[in-house]
Structure 1
Amino acid sequence: MLIKSGKSPPERAGPLISMFIKEVIHDSSNKKRLRDLLNSIYARRREIDHRHKLADKGYIEKVHDYYKIALDIISKETHVSIT
């Protein structure tokens, strides 16, 4: 989406999340909610990758819930069905 809009996506996750939300999401309440969800998903993934946390079932289910909510927001804002 960013490339199609003529934007060059940044390499790091934080700036990429910010740029995506700024360019794609227009409802201000959805911007904050989506930013918080994506940052939380990224932080949890980083904790597991760096072995600070062992991913148990509850941890994975929480991230899955965040992921579903984030996809729902993106689908509503872009009018694109993501399954």
Structure 2
Amino acid sequence: MGFLFRVRMASFFAGAATASFAGFYLLYKDYMLAQDAIRRQISLHVCMVNAVYQTVDERYESLNKRITDLENQKAAAATDKMLEVSD
């Protein structure tokens, strides 16, 4: 009777170990697949963000130039008014 119980217990634990290994393997593969997909999305996103930053930098430089020109015009107009007042 004891021998049969030991055989059944050994079979149970062998099956549990096999199922555990198979489950671990499937979860590991799923994890690696998800990690690869996320890595691809991030690399694509980084390329897109770099392109957007380049256009944003160009726009910023253009706006900065326009603001500088307007400030120079205001300074010139203020200087002209001061000269007219002093005449």
**TM-score if structure 2 supplies the norm length?**
0.29
Larger radius of gyration: 2
Q: Which structure has greater helix proportion?
A: 2
**TM-score if structure 1 supplies the norm length?**
0.30
Q: Using CA pairs under 8 Å that are at least 6 residues apart, name the structure with larger relative contact order, 1 or 2.
A: 1
